[in-house]
Amino acid sequence: QSYYEAKRWFEKASKQGHPVAILTLGGFHLEGLGGCSIDLPKARQYAEKAMYLESRVADSCHELLVRIAIRADSTEAKSILMPLAEEGVAIAQNSLGVTMLEEENGAFDRCNAKALFVAAALQGVEA
């Protein structure tokens, strides 16, 4: 019941533009908490909205988007991870490398995956 009550307050705060509340609602939709159904597109919308509203929560937004990508199919995962990887977000670079290796469409993907792993490793993320 506390998740339901928390959701109600986060919804009020999100309507006032509070990025942490918006990000938290994304997590609720990712995990199916507080009466929310698991809804990856909605979780992604919340995370992206919060990311644009407040750079202070950008790292948490990146983490939530990567967690959404991990649960999505590979096409959706790539659409989430590529822009983040291009921005230099290490966890996205690593996750995109993993996605490319899992699909493995030849030497091109292996080469790109390796480059992503190296970029992430230079920022301290282990493959």
DSSP sequence for the chain: -HHHHHHHHHHHHHHTT-HHHHHHHHHHHHHT-TTPPP-HHHHHHHHHHHHHH-GGGHHHHHHHHHHHHHHS-HHHHHHHHHHHHHTT-HHHHHHHHHHHHHH--SHHHHHHHHHHHHHHHTTT---
Express each pLDDT in 13-44 by its tens digit.
999 989 999 999 999 999 999 999 999 999 99
Measured between alpha carbons, how far is 20 from 63 in angstroms, rounded to an integer?
13
What pLDDT sits at residue 127?
63
CB of 63 closer than 8 Å to CB of 81 = no
What pLDDT sits at residue 94?
94
pLDDT exceeds 90 at position 4: yes
What tokens were used for 88?
A: 């230099």
Express each pLDDT in 68-123 by its tens digit.
999 999 889 999 999 999 999 999 999 999 998 888 676 778 888 899 999 999 99
